[in-house]
Amino acid sequence: MADASPQILLADAELLKDTVREAGALALSLFRTELRNWTKGASSPVSEADIAVNDLLEARLRAATPDYGWLSEESVDGEDRLGKRLTWIVDPIDGTRGYLAGREDWCVSVALVQDAAPVLAAVFVPVAGEFFFAMRGQGAMLNDRRIQATPGTSLDFSRIAGPKPLVERLNTEAGEIALYPRIGSLALRLCRVAQGRLDAAFAGGNSRDWDLAAAHLIVQEANGRMTTLSGEGILYNRREVTHGVLVAAGRDRHASIVSHFRKSSPA
């Protein structure tokens, strides 16, 4: 398959926006209702809402783009996507644990990935009515208004989110630090960096493609960066979809944080 043309990407962008809004409305209609739920794997919760939203996304997106690959947290994975240059990467409800607990920190997260890098992204937070969108090279938007990650290199720990033991490795002074309150959805946590509400955010190890791909492009298009702690880039739609510890921040702060971890890591 050749690269998606600008015209195709524009059509896919409209498809993505409409579909994610519809999926978010469905998730919201089921929010705080009695739902069957169960655990998959060791401790990952899933509910009938996750499945319903996944079914809607898959039906809409795959019908419109039958030649694209598909990778979703709630679909059986297969080898077929590995041969596709364009693949949808989907988390129907990112933050299911919070969703089931009645908290508002969950979202619908969908990216279109081309050759291991996201080119379109939508993250919808239905309870707050926040719709994040990005197209590669076109900037990042929140409710159709351009957003930017915060500039500078300073570290205000009340504006940094992520696992506390990880963030504490940035603290060069003795004493307790107070972090930004936990955000259950990793995609939403990263989008808070893109909009400037957070200065930086960390992802502990074991995040998956579907947690990251959409928010990654939104951060990138908001003049931010997201990489491993050593500054290595992130590739998507590979056979292995699990990632290690990651950091997202505005470009200058990201460079400073990566430099700190490189210096503090054992040789």
Q: What domains can you pick out in the chain, each with its CATH number?
A: 6-146 (3.30.540.10), 157-264 (3.40.190.80)
| φ and ψ at residue 25, rounded to 5 degrees | -65, -40
pTM across the whole model = 0.95
Could you tell me the two tokens for 176?
């307790």
Closest CA to 54 of 94, 5, 97: 94
Distance CA 53, CA 27 (A): 6
pLDDT digits 0-9 by tens, 199-237: 999 998 889 999 999 999 999 999 999 999 999 999 999
pLDDT digits 0-9 by tens, 76-130: 888 899 989 999 999 999 999 999 999 999 999 999 999 999 999 999 999 999 9
> What is the number of helices (H) and of strands (E) in the chain?
7, 15
DSSP string, 73-102: TTS---SGGGG-SEEEEEEEEETHHHHHTT
